[in-house]
Amino acid sequence: MDNPQSNLNDKAAKALEKILETHFCDLKDTENHESQLKTAADGFFKNYEILKNTKIHNALSDESRLKILLLLKFREMCNCELTAALNLTQPNLTYHVKKLENANLVKPRREGKYTYYSLADEVISRIIQF
């Protein structure tokens, strides 16, 4: 069965590709071309979760957060284990795991006064390489 989201992406990509066949500076009517290009690009970008991808890239752009993800490949870990393994303060760890949570890369589980963290998805485990 076809994925409707995939079909939208394909249509938007083809529309953008068609407009990009013509170079901007070769046209006499650049205003019209500019408008068409903007509309096609907006349609193309709308089909991608730009904000979600930005959060993921931001979350992965820090050495401490990458180390957290690598440790969580082994097993769920409590905040005290992560602070010890990474030599981080509790507030610093909280800052980093919050970024990872916001990007849906880790999920927390509270148990008493401890918070345990695990990878949010099996796919994330496969993406993170040693």
What average pLDDT does this structure show over 26-53? 74
Q: Are residues 67 and 109 in the same domain?
A: yes
Average pLDDT, the chain: 81
62 and 89 share a domain? yes
pLDDT at 124 exceeding the cut of 60: yes
Residues 121 and 59 in one domain: yes
Is the pLDDT reported for residue 15 higher than 70? yes
Res 20 pLDDT > 50: yes
pLDDT tens column, 75-123 = 999 999 999 999 999 999 999 999 999 988 999 999 998 999 999 987 6
User: Looking at the structure, do residues 11 and 62 belong to the same domain, yes or no?
Assistant: no
Mean pLDDT in residue range 10-23: 75
More confident call, 37 vs 103 = 103
Domain identity same for 44 and 66:
no
Q: Are residues 60 and 119 in the same domain?
A: yes
Q: Are residues 44 and 62 in the same domain?
A: no
- What confidence category does residue 5 fall into, taking pLDDT thresholds of 50, 70 and 90? very low
pLDDT at 1 over 50: no
Q: Report the number of distinct structural domains present in the chain.
A: 2
Average pLDDT over residues 25-52: 73
Same domain? 71 vs 8: no
Residue 92 and residue 63 in one domain: yes
Q: Residue 24's domain spans which residues?
A: 4-48
Give all strands of the β-sheet with 106-111 in edge-to-edge order: 77-78, 114-119, 106-111
d(CA 44, CA 128): 28
Q: Which residues contact 42 (CB under 8 A, 6 or more apart)?
A: none
The pLDDT of residue 3 is 44
Query: Nearest-CA neighbor of 78 among 119, 124, 125, 111?
Result: 111
- Say if residue 61 is in the same domain as residue 83: yes
Kindly report the CATH number assigned to the domain that includes residue 106. 1.10.10.10
